[in-house]
Structure 1
Amino acid sequence: MDTGLPDGWTIERVRSASGDSEAALLSLERLVVVEESGLADYTPLRPDVVLSFHGLCLVRADGDWFMGQLDIDGSIICWASCGPDLGEAIRGL
């Protein structure tokens, strides 16, 4: 179930790096948007990986990781780009 994670990463490594023993890969079948400063509308993202950490999420789209929050309806609103490195993105949690 480590499909889509960068080379060298497993869900166990994600859990260890994040300190969240319940971190999980989520289905891509959900609305994912990013909030952009100064814009009234959200910009949709097309993620190829979604990781959940107790309500916070890291979403990879177009090679970059975005931090966001999992909504009750399963959608994700992202507010920050964390760059292309998963380890750096996890440290930003």
Structure 2
Amino acid sequence: MPQEQLLPAGWTLDEIREVSGDRKAEPLSTDRVVTWLDRPEGNEQRLHPQIVLGFQGLCLVKPVDDEDWYMGHLEDDGSVCCWSAYGDLYEALRGL
């Protein structure tokens, strides 16, 4: 799949790297398990990723049919465990 299809609409990889401050940021495959830990209840919910962006161990995930961006960390097995949500990508990138 071309890299542009793995990026959010209207964003380039250079823009994502500039806003996040991470020159190694990269789009990752969506073929992975992504979970959202809903606090304070501690319920775990499975997310179906449309876009996954990697930032040296941290990830931002845009699920299918959801406008929010979820921040989490990359597990050793390639899965992502998310613990925070943002209303837009710019805000999420600045929160890294």
User: Could you tell me the TM-score, scaled by structure 1's length?
Assistant: 0.90
**Residue 92, structure 1, aligned to residue 76, structure 2:** no
Deviates more, 1:39-48 or 1:11-20: 39-48
Q: Matched residue of 1:77: which SS?
A: strand
Distance between the aligned counterparts of 2:9 and 2:31, measured in 1? 23
**Residue 56, structure 1, aligned to residue 58, structure 2:** yes
Distance between the aligned counterparts of 1:38 and 1:8, measured in 2? 34
Instruction: Give the RMSD, CA atoms, in angstroms.
Output: 1.3
What displacement does 1:4 show?
4.4
Q: Matched residue of 1:3: which SS?
A: helix
5+ unaligned residues in a row in structure 1: which ranges?
A: none
Percent identical among aligned pairs is 47
Distance between the aligned counterparts of 1:22 and 1:16, measured in 2? 10
What displacement does 1:17 show?
1.0
Distance between the aligned counterparts of 2:82 and 2:7, measured in 1? 19
Q: For 1:1-93, what aligned pairs fall within 5 Å after superposition?
A: 1-61=3-63, 62-83=66-87, 85-93=88-96
- Cα distance change of structure 1 residues 63 and 4 upon mapping to structure 2, 3 Å threshold: farther
Structure 1 runs (4+) deviating above 4 angstroms are: none
Number of residue pairs matched by the alignment = 92
